[in-house]
Amino acid sequence: MKKTLKQFIEYFETLWTVGLAASSSGLLAKHGDELSDSLKVMIERGKGYSAVSFERLTDYRAYLWHMMQGIFETVDVLVSPTLATAAFRFDEEGPASINGRPIKRDSDWMLTQIYNLTGQPACSIPIAFTSSGLPIGMQAACRRFNDTMLFQFAKWVEDLLQIPTLADH
């Protein structure tokens, strides 16, 4: 069942775009001119999948869920970058490449997908700012239903680093 990172991203993207297409058709029709181009592309991409192809994804999702449960049997908090690139403004498209490699501008820079799929609580803790004042986040996650530990960890990191808030920056 082991898959490559590319296969995992394609898997997540399929779930994500199908979910967007299922829940956003009215939004696209009524407010399409207000949505970003990348969101419109994801909604349209999601419309291309059948219910059968979507259902075939459930075995891999179960595999990922069990894999994450195993990790959190020995790890209290797992930390990683929140994004694969520096933050960018909400009204900008994502980067076209990372480290010289072309990526999908709408999704390949996110590193939060595993927790969206498996239900572990996760948060992004600001640990620095870019030269343009945008936050750089460290993502932290823990065992399901252990939100209190996650919040305590996030508070500990914030106290330790003493990073000013966006309002202070």
Provide DSSP, 56-120.
TTHHHHHHHHHHHHHHTTT-SEEEEESBSS----TTSPPPSEETTEE--TTTTTB--HHHHHH--
Q: What is the pLDDT of residues 21-62, one digit of tens each?
A: 888 867 877 887 888 777 888 888 888 888 887 777 777 888
Same domain? 79 vs 158: yes
164 in a domain, yes or no?
Answer: yes
46 in a domain, yes or no?
Answer: yes
Same domain? 52 vs 77: no
2 in a domain, yes or no?
Answer: yes
66 in a domain, yes or no?
Answer: no
Residue 45 structural domain: 1-56
Q: What is the pLDDT of residues 78-136, one digit of tens each?
A: 999 998 888 877 777 778 888 898 887 777 788 888 888 888 999 999 998 888 888 89
Q: Can you give the pLDDT at residue 139?
A: 96
67 in a domain, yes or no?
Answer: no
Same domain? 79 vs 119: yes
Same domain? 110 vs 146: yes
Same domain? 98 vs 157: yes
**Total domains in the fold of the chain:** 2
Residue 158 confidence (pLDDT) above 60: yes
143 in a domain, yes or no?
Answer: yes
Same domain? 163 vs 84: yes
Overall pTM surpassing 0.75 (yes/no)? no
Q: For residue 165, what pLDDT band results from cuts at 50, 70 and 90?
A: low
Q: Can you give the pLDDT at residue 143?
A: 93
Q: Can you give the pLDDT at residue 168?
A: 58
CB atoms within 10 A of CB 141: 24
Average pLDDT of the chain to the nearest whole number: 84
Same domain? 89 vs 130: yes
